[in-house]
Amino acid sequence: ASTPLTFLIIFYYIFSWYRRKKTYDISLYKRGDLLEVSRTLFKHFGIYLGEGRVAHFIPDILPVFTKEKSITEQMVTNERLILGVLAKAASVRVDSLVDFAYGDCIQVNKIDSMVSVQPLNGEEVARRSEKLIGSFSYSLLWHNCEHYVMYCRYGVAFSFQTFQVRKLKRWRPNNSNYEYDSLVHFEFLICVVNVSKLRFIYLYAKKKSKYSENCL
């Protein structure tokens, strides 16, 4: 007899197939464009490099365990992304439009209307994004994909999304003995991950490098 779990498994494989089959018209994007898609509870951002390639800063747990490129260069799933957030392990990497979008529709340069700073020219934006390719530590509030693209396109590292989240800090209990950033990470996991899928969580020590002052 069929069970709800069976239907969920079938849906998962159909959706996975759909993500890989969806195509995007590369004529709609110019080198240096800021691209935006939905991932988990938040928006995810990247910089278009041309020829169907996108540079983006994304958390990923797999490089903590293996350096095998044939594995780590595959599409970053939401499970890998969430565990990467918890481990604070991430990298600026170049992926195809399909892998970057993860089946979602792509919005282009939407942030241009939200900032008073004029964007840099497309070639400079792309050059900045390519210069930062590599592994860095990650913080959901202070060092995420939006900070990365904002620096590349506007020269200022800022995140509209986490600015709104940080406003919740005023409700932090007095004399608390936990890190606010860690609390957000935990709540983020509970909201978007089916805990039954997680066999284990390996908490990896934060990497020392950041793309902030050293790279600007």
Which residue in 105, 145, 152, 215 is the catalytic one? Answer: 145
Position 172 scores a pLDDT of: 47
For 30-73, what is each residue's pLDDT tens digit?
999 999 999 877 899 999 999 999 999 999 999 999 999 999 99
Residue 216 lies in a domain: no
152 tagged catalytic: no
What's the chain look like in SS3? CCCHHHHHHHHHHHHHHHHHHCCCCHHHCCCCCEEEEEECCEEEEEEEEECCEEEEEEECCHHHHCCCHHHHCCCCCHHHHHHHHHHCEEEEEEEEHHHHHCCCCCEECHHHHHCCCCCCCHHHHHHHHHHCCEEEECECCCECHHHHHHHHHHCCCCCHHHHHHHHHHHHCCCCCCCCHHHHHHHHHHHHHCCHHHCCCCCCCCCCCCCCCCCCC
* Domain span at 142: 4-210
For 170-198, what is each residue's pLDDT tens digit?
444 444 443 444 444 434 443 333 333 33
Domain count, the chain: 1
Q: Would the pLDDT of 1 be above 70?
A: no
Residue 72 lies in a domain: yes
Residue 147 lies in a domain: yes
CATH of the domain at 82: 3.90.1720.10
Q: Would the pLDDT of 105 be above 60?
A: yes
Model confidence at 14, in pLDDT bands (50, 70, 90)?
A: low
